[in-house]
Amino acid sequence: MFNQDNDPRRPRPPSDSRGFFMLPQAPMDSGYYVYGNLYQRPAKGAYQYAHPLMMTAILNVGLEWQAMDTRRFGVGDISLPGGIKTPDHGGHKSGLNVDIRPLRKDGREEPVKWSDPEYDQVATYALINLFHIFAQVQRVIFNDPGIPFLVRAERHDDHFHLDLRG
């Protein structure tokens, strides 16, 4: 249900107890869009506090991506303010983990699984490669068998989870 806590217009603290900032939520011409749990707790944006290395990686990849492709890629959970733990995610506490949606052929900013016809493997592979170029990627979890060097895990069909080295 909609309440004050998940009102996206409600002001949020600019940085958390670690000094991490929230990923910009409505950036112009940045190559990415954000997705989250608008009608659930935590509110949209609350799960997008990023370690400075992660912030730099997403912003740089976004700018590079925007020069290559008119579609935007979807950025989901990073970490909660202060790195607190939640029951639904084992990781995502350091600000160095991010969930990203694969690209869709139709460019719609919606979920897609690697096994769906709308999934764009070429673009998704290119996006993963950009992260390797612009950041120290430790691990990428995603179940598409057509992309090399991925770790497979349950519930990683409609997003790839990317860990950076701290």
Residues that bind Zn ion (CB under 5 A): 99, 161
* 3 state SS of 78: coil
> What distance in Å separates the CA atoms of residue 149 and residue 131, rounded to the nearest whole number?
13
For residue 56, the surrounding DSSP H or E stretch is helix 52-68
CB of residue 91 to Zn ion, shortest distance in Å: 6
> What distance in Å separates the CA atoms of residue 2 and residue 25, rounded to the nearest whole number?
19
Distances (CA, A) of 12 to 6, 84, 150: 11, 16, 35
Query: Nearer Cβ to Zn ion, position 65 or 142?
Result: 142
Query: Nearer Cβ to Zn ion, position 3 or 40?
Result: 40
> What distance in Å separates the CA atoms of residue 78 and residue 23, rounded to the nearest whole number?
9
Query: Nearer Cβ to Zn ion, position 72 or 161?
Result: 161
CB of residue 67 to Zn ion, shortest distance in Å: 27
Query: Nearer Cβ to Zn ion, position 47 or 119?
Result: 47
